[in-house]
Every structure is written in C-alpha cells, then in structure tokens.
Structure 1
Amino acid sequence: MKKALLYLLLLPMLLALAGCVDEESYADTPQGNFEALWNIIDQRYCFLDYKAQEYGLDWNEVHRRYSRMMNAGMTESQVFEVLCNMLSELRDGHVNLYSSFDVARNWSWHEDYPSNFSDTLFSKYIGTDYRIASGMKYRVLDDNTGYLRCETFTNDIGSGNLDDILLYLAPCNGLIIDLRNNTGGMISSAEKLAARFTNEETLVGYMQHKTGPGHGDFSAMKEQILKPAKGARWQKRVVVLTNRSVYSAANEFVKYMKCCPGVTVVGDKTGGGAGLPFSSELPNGWSVRFSACPMYDRQQQSTEFGIDPDYKVDLTQEDFRRGRDTLIEYARKLLRE
C-alpha cells in the first residue's frame, strides 16, 4: 500500500504533466465556463471509457446536447444548473461542482436504494455503556460477539486505540464490523484498520494514474499490497456489514477485507467510488472535483459501482417491528456456526 500512497502524493504532478486544460484560454462567460468544464472532464476524468462500456456514456454527445442550452444571457444559477446536470451524466459521487451558493452532487448511488440501517435499532444494540476509541464505538453483545461500529474514515485511527479495542474484544467468539453508512474519508485509515486482519502481505488490488489527455491514457497497473500491522491482530472470524451508503475509502476497506482470511461480507452491495478525487477550477472561480485515479480489485475489476456482499441481506419490516436488526442477527448466526 505504500506504493499506492506514493502515487497519491505524485498525483497532482502527474496530472499537471498529463495534458492539463489551460483554464485561462476560456472566457469567463456561460459558454466559456461550459467548455472549460467539459474539457477538464474530457482530459482528466478517469472513467469515461469504463462508463461508456457500462451504460453507454457518450461524452461527445453530452457536449452537443448541453452546449445548446448555453447562452450569454444566463444567470449564474442557470449556468450552475446546466453544468450540474451535465456532470450528473457521469453518475459519480466523487464529482462535485462548488460555487459560493451551492454544491453539485450526485447521490444516486445510495438515494435510490433501501438504507438497511436504523438508528433506533443501533441504539438498542449498542446500549449506553459502550466504549469509544478513535471515533469507533464497540462493545461485547450478550452472546459474546464483539461489535465494532465504524461510521467514518474521516479521522486518523490510532494504532494504540486499535490495540486496546482488539485486546478488549479478544475473548469474543467472533467480531462484527458495522460499516453501514460509512461514506469514506482517508484511505490510510481504512488500510490501518484492515491491516489488523491479515498475518501476511496480501495483494488487495491495483491502481493507475493518468498519463495523458486521451480517455485511455493510463499507466500500467500498480499493485496495492496490504501489510499486516505490527500491533494486535484479530485471529477469529469477522463479519463486515455493508449497505449502499458504504462509499469511497469505506468501499476500499471492504475490498481489502474480502482478501483477508475468515472474513464474510453481509448486507447490500456497497455504493462504490473507486476513483481518487482531484480538483480544478473554472474561469469564474468555481471549483470542480472529479475522479482522476482508478482503483481495481485483485481480479483487476473496477469497483466504481460497488462490491457485492457474500450474503445479500436486507433489513426487514418484520424484524424492525420486533426490535431486531436483520443484518446483525444474520451475522451473529454466521459466527455461531
């Protein structure tokens, strides 16, 4: 994974050398900002060919269609709306347009699916006497199953905290890592947690970076290697709970964990988000964020649109009425077996 982190550090320089769009060549007009944005995506976005293959995205056709909507008399809000709609054609939660009055976003990767998570049920299972370390909540459930709630990878996870968590849960029969609604954060935090579940260096995937302005201009595949942590490592079975709101760095965590021994993934397909984001600017000062560096699983398949669980399980209305979390109960059953 150190190789992967090195590429992250080099990414801005690599993109700068890879046929960058000269924003100054576009006028600060509705049409000029449109052309600047379209070209930034055309030259730097990393999934154009992949999405053409997956659902027929034709970026040139998108240009023709949206260009006709632009005119010199448009207000800022009207320009923003058209540009946002154009970006939504990419179906990418890592693509955003930032103005002083709004942020364009595409959340269809989770909005059109059941949440499979209930705050009410979570409060029942976690109780009030749970522990907290590095932002994660954990406790021993009444059947001696360890439960770790990881809601985000936004913050750094302390190695000492992980030692304390795993040592506290060590007497348990197995461990549930509840990742539901974790929309990501720092890949380094996802890696640090996953490293507690392998005893040897493990190939978990690949990544590339752009080498030029063409849609297919990429470097060779570079391996992502997960190295075992130096501290306490878990040696028993693990069930990771997922739903469609597991995204970005959390999606990567699921990718890593599926390569670790004794790990089972239960729940819904993850939301995806397999492109490391990068930012640029339009002539009017608006900032655009986009996926610039594609990542793959160890079969060299993109996880941009999510990772399937080992067992597809939904939260049922019957269980909800009975105060039971279907996913947690399914995980406990697997660990008992």
Structure 2
Amino acid sequence: MYSVPACRRRTFRLVCSVFVLSLVSALTIPVSATDLAKQYPATLDFSKQNRSYNWQTGPQDVWRLESFEYQLGDQFQIKLGPSQVVLGKNGSNVLWAAVYPDQPGDILKASGGQGDHITSVWLRFHPARIGELFPTDTVGKQGDADLIKQARRLVNHKLRSSWHAGARPMVPSRESVVIDCETAERERRFYVIDTTKQTARYVDAFRQQTLSVPQPLEQGQAVRIFDQVWNAFDREYALFAVKPQVDWQQLKQEYRPRAANAKTNQDLAETLNAMLAELKDLHIYVRVSGSFLNGYQRKRLFNASPAAAVKLLGPLNQIKGLRWGRTQDQIGYIAVDTLSISSLPDRFAAALKQMQGTSGLILDLRANGGGAEPLARKMAGYFAAEPTLYALHQYRSGPKHTDLGTPQKRIFAPDQNWYYRGPVIVLQGERTMSSAEAFVLMLAACPQVTTMGDRTAGSSGNPRQLDVGAEIIVNLPRWIPQDANGKSFDTVGIQPGVPVKAAPEEFTRTADPVLSAALKRLRKQTSDLESSEAVLVPRSGNNTQQ
C-alpha cells in the first residue's frame, strides 16, 4: 500500500502529464480548424458546353489561413505563410479563390518566375478540389471582410484569362488547376496545372498583364468625371425611350454622393459601373487602367456544340473566325464566328466558292458576338437578289429622353459577281449579338433563307467610347435597334423563323440538336432538286471563271 503523501505525489504527476498532452494537442491542432469541403459541398461538374455561372461572395466566404502551399512533384512549388482567402461561389460550389498573404510568399520551383515574391494568388479549380487545396488544418476562423473589395478587382482583371464564358466562370475539368500570381516584382506569373499528366505549364503571354495599382484622384475630379458620364448618357442614350422604368435622375441622386467619396480611379469606376448596370444593357461596359469591370450580364444559353459539328458534318476547314466544309451528301456548312476581322469577307468568298455543287447551305452564326456591320453586309450580298432593307435605327434628337430622330434605314446590296441561289438555313441563338444580329436580319430578308434556333441576344447599340480621364473608359450605346418593320428588338432579340428548343445537357461532343434539325430540314427541302442545278452562279454580266 501507498502512503497518503505518496498517493498525492502520484496523482499530481498524472494530472501534469494530462495537462502537457492537452497543451501539445492544442498547439498542433488549430482550435478553429474548418473543413471547407464540408462547408462548400460540390454539386456542379465540368460541362463540355461552355456552361457558365453567376457567382457571389460575402463576409462568410473570407477565411484565415495558417499557410498556403501548392506543389506538383519537383516541377512546381509555391509557398505562402499566414494568409487570407476569399471564395467566390455559386450555391455551395466554389468557382474561384483569391489568396492574399500577410507577407509576400515565394515561387520556389517553376519554369518561369522562380524566385519571385507572391502578393496574391488567383485560383481556378473544380469545386470538388476545395478541401485538397485548403486542408482543414490550415483553415482558421473567418477573415477580414474588407478583402472582398480587392477580390472583386482581381475577378475583373483575371476572370477572362481562363475557364470563362460570357464574363462568367465555368467549372474547370477535374484535372485542371490554374494558379495566377501577382508578384512584388510587378510581373504576372500564370501556370496551368494538369494533375493527370502531372505537368505545370507556364504561360509567359500574361507576364506584363499585371493588376494595375489604383490611382489617387485629385480634389473634385471624381465628381467631374461622374457628371461627364451621367450627362453624356442623359443626352445620347436613346434606349431610355424604351426603358421607362429607369429613373435616371434618381440614379444620379443615389450614386453621385458615392462618387464624391471615391479616393481612387478604381473606386470611381466601380461606382460608375454599378450605376450603369441599372440600365441592364449588354453593350455598356466600364474599363479602368485596361481592366474591364464585371458589369451587367444575363444568362444566355450557347445553343451549339462546335465539337459535334465535326461528327455531324465530317472534317471542317478552320481559320480564325471561320469554319467550313460539306457533308457526304453535299450539304454545305459555313460558320462565321466573328465580325471583327477585316479580311473576313475575302475568306468567306473563298469558302463560299467551295460550296459549288452543294444542294443547300447552312450558315452558322450561333457563336458570333458581333463586330463590324459593314463586313456582314459584304457577306450577305452573296444571297441577295436586289438591294434590300434589313433594319432601322433611331438616335436621340433632343434633351428629353423621348426625343428621337427619324428612323434611319439600313440597306444591303447584292454582290456584283456571285449569287448563291440554293436553299440556305441560318442558325442563330442567344450568343448571336450586336452586328451579328444585323447579319441575321440581312439573311432573313433573302427569299431562299430560313432562320432556325433560338432568339438572338437583343443588344445592338452602335456605341461610342467615352474617355473621361483617370484611365477610365465607358462604352455608351447610342441607338435603338429595330427590324425592317420598325420594331425594336432590344432585350427581346430576333426570333427565328423555325424555333428549335433544346436543353443545355442535350448539347454534347457528339450531339447538336439545332444543327441536326437544320440538316434534317435541308435534306427534305433539297430532295427534289436536280443535282446538276448550279447553286452558286455568276451575276448577269460577270465573266469571272469559277
């Protein structure tokens, strides 16, 4: 038996041992450790159809990190000490992360930028990787909500660099991780990680595209710039006439005081952007120090699958802005994906001449976001039998928002040399926008043309740029777009002659319901045509050899 003093000594040693073990555990396991995989369960997955999502972030999405590190074998490694992370999400799915170290971190191993010091990290990854990128034992309590403003700046600058569609983030494939670093050396270091192939590719093209430093404004400069923008829209923005719900004076009263409090050009640009987003116009944007701000957007389905086109049509030729080919049963296909290349009409003419011998033609404008309308007029001329009215527009004519000038006619003329007289189907959708919508109207006015698909974007403004100083640029749309009957198609878009409704999941790498419907219709339409009948013919008086 032990004496009473001996028992007390034994008990004291046991209590001390338990205390020491508890203290060690407390020091090695963060008390406020957070499992972000449980906090943000992943329900979205990668889509082959360029599906993009709205996002949001708030104070509850800012977290303290004990450290942040990413390593891929002996090829790539970055390491940051204590940091904070801001997460952008759709529902519970994290679509992006912005990491800010308390002190600059290090690029320890990389094929470009090794030795640079990291001031921020922009991350794009599959939502299911959130717990892997930010292990539970590194995530502490909620962070500083003031970082959200910085993170939004990073989004505006970085989002269009990878995995986006329509200025909204997509869900990357599971093997892809994008690590985009700003550095103290004022060089941007952009890495594309493939976890399946175990590669880390450095993209030097982004090196000089660094996040700008906000510029301080002079006394009274913010208000002067605000008034300049507000007054320009007040005088020139014709679409006020079809948006009676917008109280422009009230918006001035609401946003002008905010502008007066702006200390930097970034602060002012964000205020202008917020005010102009109230107009819900896809053609309005604000750019500051070369970076576009995330303005008004609405969900627009991309009703196409470029990958499926090859499966449905056969091999396609491709150059920038143009894809073309023909099926084995001699149906021609030309996709015009932009109107921003001056040489496009000549390239289109060359592709069209290869359509001789086809029984019909599909013109695909579903991926065309616009550009220069005169280019569209040149290409549409191959399908016109005579000069044709295709659209009208109205500008402002006075100080009142309802003061509109006489509708101005827009006419396109036939090409002087060639005429495609065979049946044509034009494919359109919500991504068909701006001058591409005018292109649709031109083609729809031709008797041999049928339009198919979905409504267009409903946004055509013939804008001008306002350079208001402080490295701020504002895009100001100026006209009301109308069809040939004088009906405005702003917001509502141009309806197809033959609607083809399809859900996003129906577009896959091997399936395109809109293109399939067009092929079916054209085959039925051309089944009675003589195969020897020429569809691309010289205009009267044209002696050019085919």
TM-score normalised by structure 1 residue count: 0.82
Query: Which consecutive unaligned segments of at least 5 residues does structure 1 have?
Result: 1-25
Residues 324, 334 of structure 2: 8 Å contact kept? yes
Structure-1 residue corresponding to 2:231: 39
Cα deviations across residues 89-146 of structure 1 (Å, max 9, x unaligned)?
122222122210522354524xx13221224323434654x33478422111233211
2:304 corresponding residue in structure 1: 117
Who is 1:142 aligned against? Answer: 328
Aligned CA distance change for structure 1 residues 246 and 27 (closer, same or farther; 3 Å): farther
How far, CA to CA, are the matches of 2:339 and 2:242 in structure 1? 27
Cα pair distance change 1:159/1:72, threshold 3 Å: closer
Which residue number corresponds to residue 313 of structure 1? 500
Does 2:263 match 1:77?
Answer: no
Pair 1:98-2:287 in alignment:
yes
Count of residues paired in the alignment: 306
- Determine the C-alpha separation between the residues in 1 that align with 2:474 and 2:219: 17
Q: SS where residue 66 of structure 1 aligns? A: helix
Q: Rate the CA distance shift 1:107–1:237 in 2: closer, same or farther, 3 A.
A: farther
Alignment CA distance shift 1:173-1:289 (3 Å):
same
Aligned to 2:221: 29
Return closer, same or farther for 1:284/1:212 CA change in 2, 3 Å cut-off: farther
1:86 maps to which of 275, 278, 283: 275
What residue is the counterpart of 2:414 in the other structure?
Answer: 228
Which residue number corresponds to residue 18 of structure 1?
none
**Greater CA drift, 276-285 or 167-176:** 276-285
The 3-state SS of whatever aligns with 2:311 is helix
Structure whose alpha-carbon radius of gyration is higher: 2
Matches within 5 A, 1:42-57: 42-52=234-244, 56-57=245-246
Shift of 1:218: 3.3
| Pairwise CA distance, 1:176 | 0.7
Q: In structure 2, do the counterparts of structure 1 residues 106 and 178 end up closer, same or farther at CA, with 3 Å as the change threshold?
A: farther
Instruction: State the one-letter code of the partner of 1:198.
Output: A
> Are the counterparts in 2 of residues 29 and 72 from structure 1 also a CA contact under 8 Å?
no
Once the two structures are superposed, the pairs formed by residues 190-209 of structure 1 within 5 Å of their partners are 190-209=376-395
More strand by share: 2
On the 8 A contact 1:159/1:231 being kept in 2, the answer is: no
Query: Is 2:467 the partner of 1:275?
Result: no
TM-score by length of 2: 0.52
Note closer, same or farther for the CA distance 1:201–1:317 as it changes in structure 2 (3 Å cut). closer
Go from structure 1 to structure 2 and tell me whether the alpha carbon gap of 1:142 and 1:43 turns closer, same or farther (over 3 Å shift): same
Q: Distance in 2 between matches of 1:122 and 1:67?
A: 50
Listed one character per residue, the Cα deviations across residues 138-192 of structure 1 (whole Å, up to 9, x for unaligned) are 1112332111011001012465544433332132221111111211111011111
Structure 2 CA distance for aligned equivalents of residues 41 and 180 of structure 1? 31
Structure 1 equivalent of residue 439 of structure 2:
253
Q: Deviations over 1:187-223 (max 9, x none)?
A: 0111111111111111112223333443233331222
Instruction: Give the residue type in structure 2 aligned to 1:43.
Output: R
Measured at CA, do residues 204 and 321 of structure 1 come closer, stay the same or move farther in structure 2, by a change above 3 Å?
closer
Q: Which moved more, 1:249-258 or 1:292-301?
A: 292-301
Asked if the contact 2:432/2:456 (under 8 Å) is kept, the reply is yes
In structure 1, distance between residues paired with 2:347 and 2:262: 57
Equivalent position amino acid for 1:248 in 2 = S
1:291 to 464, 477, 481: 477
**Greater RCO (Cα-Cα under 8 Å, separation 6 or more):** 1
Distance 1:267 1:157 in 2: 28
- Note if contact 1:163-1:231 (Cα within 8 Å) is conserved in structure 2: no
| RMSD between aligned residues | 2.5
SS in 1 for 2:243: helix
Supply the distance in 2 between the matched residues of 1:101 and 1:166 (Cα, whole angstroms). 38
Higher helix share: 1
For 2:513 and 2:324, locate their aligned partners in 1 and report how far apart those are by CA, in whole Å: 19
